[in-house]
Amino acid sequence: MTTPVSLTRQGKVGLIAINNPPVNALSQAVRQGIIECVLQAQQDDEIKAIVLYCEGRTFVAGADISEFGKAPMEPHLPDVLHQVESCTKPLVAALHGTALGGGLELALCSHYRIALAGSKVGLPEVNLGLIPGSGGTQRLPRIAGVEKALEMITSGRPVAVESVVEQNLIDQVVEKDLVTAAVGFAETLIADQAEPRRVSEIQLSKSEGHDQLFADWRAKLKKKAAGQQAPQYAIDAIENTILLPFDEGLQKEREMFLACRSSEQSRAMRHVFFAEREVVRVPGLAKDIKGHDIASVAIIGAGTMGGGIAMCFASAGIPVLLVEMTSENLERGLAMIKDRYQQNVARGRMSEQQLQDCIARIGGTCDYADLSEVDLVVEAAFESMEVKREIFSRLDQACKPEAILASNTSYLDIDQIAASTGRPDKVLGMHFFSPANIMKLLEVVRTREISDESLATVMKLGKRIGKISVAVGVCYGFVGNRMYACYGREAQALLLEGATPEQIDKAMQSWGMAMGPLSVVDMSGLDIGYKARRENPNRSDDPLFFRPADMLVEADRLGQKTGSGFYRYDSESRRKEVDEQVIGMIRDEAERLGVTQRTIGDEEIQQRLIFAMINEGARILEEGIAGRSGDIDVIWINGYGFPRYRGGPMQYADEIGLDKVLQGIKAFQDRLGDRYWKPATLLEELVAQDKKFSDWVSKD
């Protein structure tokens, strides 16, 4: 059996190489291998100094996350790292790629660190609901300072090695030939009779401003990372570096790490980590179908959405042609794009040169004849089946036969749109989320006749433009908006029943949603949903359905853009204010509709909204609209502000137990009736089999 860690010798330098693709994660075998090789090198009299490096694309990118849910296996990482730091011969870590998590902790236990230019180091554990658990919180502040450590550990953001040379985190950055340079570095240490240098021996002491510094960070993260436990634990652990001796701080760090590792939040965030990587493997799509490259794109419609979509392609280096009906519309669209790029420059997100390059990639036309050579068209026109069918039939005539035609519709039946062309195997949905140039999510809608090649091409393109692409099936609203309709429906029903907009928004925000549902509709405009509900081929005949929202639209309160919606907005500061008038209007409407208002608790609000969404999610799985429960979670986290630390709606349901969810739904069914609260068959089946959503695999 080949071992992932090996020791060789070059002159007086022992070379420990880690080779555990794809990212050299610290699996049990790697941990074991490191201990053995360090011991061997130490016992070998010919070896005077050691270089530890990694084969492949990166230095160790962390602990093996897939081992976290299983029984821990010896040797444990802190023991391995203790062995490394205690080594009696100078040990140099040679870093390339991304030295993250346990990888950086390993480097911090090494006595010297040399890195290839362009590499990054970081402690991203908070992104997995964890804190570094093998000395990271104790060693990083000792070498880089408390403030730098607070910044790196609580944000989880990796930094360029070049930027931390000054903090002594990296001793030397080299442009090329890393291992050769590291051996040279080790030989110099031997010649200089340099001793091992141990970060754990650095003493930190408390200074005057420290109490305030930690208090400020705690307050800041309470807001910025609201609801999350790990960042607060990280601050406690870092503070220990100035309060406790190293060994005690290390012990406390381990206790906090273990508490985090077994927490609901960390399980949720680990689930999302793997689910976001799993989405690229589309169920039913053969692995060997790779898709082809798209060299040019056209966008139909230069409005807010079309412009944002154009920016996604231009920013990824793909030439774009914007298509509008009139030159005035085109000019307006192009000016808006330039304006948005300029805002990016002003915020330091891109350089002036990058702006010029992006703008140069965007052309415009009012003539479909100019689309004859493009590889892909994304239609972002008015949400009307008639309009879209006409556009697609024109595109079918104008574009080359191999071009793929995509619609950005949020709701409509793309199978019907595809049927208006002679190439239904090349028609599908690319549902971007607003603002399209910022939001990570892309729903790729698989039409009935879409070919595997076209689907694979668009999935690949999604990755190229930096999106998290999730393949979904055709139905009204696809995955995200279909579930959102249930979530919104309950928010509206609760308003009639006596909850106020502010109470609902606060309840959902304190549960973890990025924004409350009524603030969201005020922001996007109440008229959008109003129109969509009227155009829904299965329009609801329930007189209570979205009645508060519809009533506000009929009173010309369209949200932020008209200065009033569920809230009132100050004309200058745009600040949101509670509007008693709206509360009164809803109360009167409830009375008219025969709904008795009552006092409603936050817990009911949270359960109604979340359970409604989960029940619909179960139907979506059952119908094969989403291939896996994790796909639904990825959509909600990246498109709708669902808290990552709750793992998405389906993971949340799995976590609290599907039996509990079913029980809750049945209780609402008893109280509110069958219309909206009939439990999904799949949910009942899974409960009967004592299974979870994550156990469910589509039969197709």
Residues that bind ligand COA (CB under 6 A): 22-23, 25, 61-66, 98, 100-101, 124-125, 128, 130, 277
Q: In angstroms, what CA-CA distances link 450 with 408, 533, 584, 623?
A: 16, 28, 50, 18
Least Å from the CB of residue 154 to ligand COA: 15
Residue closer to ligand COA (CB basis): 25 or 632 = 25
CB nearer to ligand COA: give 61 or 687: 61
The reply to whether 125 belongs to the active site is yes
Nearer to ligand COA, 299 or 468 (CB): 468
Q: Give the burial string for 451-469 (b: 16+ CB within 10 Å, else e).
A: bbbbbbbbbbbbeebebbb
Report the nearest approach of ligand COA to the CB of residue 637 (Å): 16
Nearer to ligand COA, 65 or 350 (CB): 65
Give the Cα separation of 332 and 303 in Å (integer): 8
Q: Is 647 left (phi over 0), alpha (psi -120 to 50) or beta?
A: left
DSSP 306-345: HHHHHHHHHHTT--EEEE-SSHHHHHHHHHHHHHHHHHHH
- Among candidate residues 22, 23, 603, 626, the one with its CA nearest the CA of residue 284: 626
Which position among 125, 379, 497, 616 bears the catalytic label? 125
Distance CA 247, CA 34 (A): 22
Smallest gap, in angstroms, from Cβ of residue 493 to ligand COA? 41
Q: How far is the CB of 109 from ligand COA (least distance, A)?
A: 16
Quickly list DSSP for 359-403.
Answer: HHTEEEES-GGGGTT-SEEEE---S-HHHHHHHHHHHHHHS-TT-
Q: How far apart are CA 347 and CA 645, in angstroms?
A: 28
Closest distance of CB 62 from ligand COA, Å:
2
3-state helix/strand/coil string of 31-69: HHHHHHHHHHHHHCCCCCEEEEEECCCCCCCCECHHHCC
Which residue, 152 or 299, has its beta carbon nearer to ligand COA?
152
Closest CA to 646 of 503, 514, 493: 514
Q: Tokens in use for 496?
A: 């009639």
| Alpha carbon distance 53, 37 (integer Å) | 12
What three-state secondary structure class fits 612?
A: helix
Q: What are phi and psi of 425, to 5 degrees?
A: -75, -10
Residue 660 forms beta bridges with which residues? none
Which position among 67, 74, 105, 604 bears the catalytic label? 105
Residue 371: C-alpha distances to residues 276, 295, 299, 376, 398 (Å): 34, 13, 10, 9, 6
Separation of alpha carbons 488 and 639, rounded Å: 15
Q: How far is the CB of 494 from ligand COA (least distance, A)?
A: 38
**Whose CA is closest to 41, among 5, 78, 94?**
5
Residue number, 463 or 539, with CB nearest to ligand COA: 463
DSSP letter, residue 201: G
Please report how close the Cβ of residue 274 comes to ligand COA at its closest, in angstroms.
6
Q: CB 179 → ligand COA: shortest distance, Å?
A: 20
**Is 459 within 8 Å of 280 (Cβ atoms)?**
yes
Tokens at 287, concatenated: 């692995």
Pick between residue 266 and residue 420 the one whose CB is nearest to ligand COA. 266
Q: Which is nearer to ligand COA, 128 or 323 (CB)?
A: 128
* Active-site residue list: 105, 125
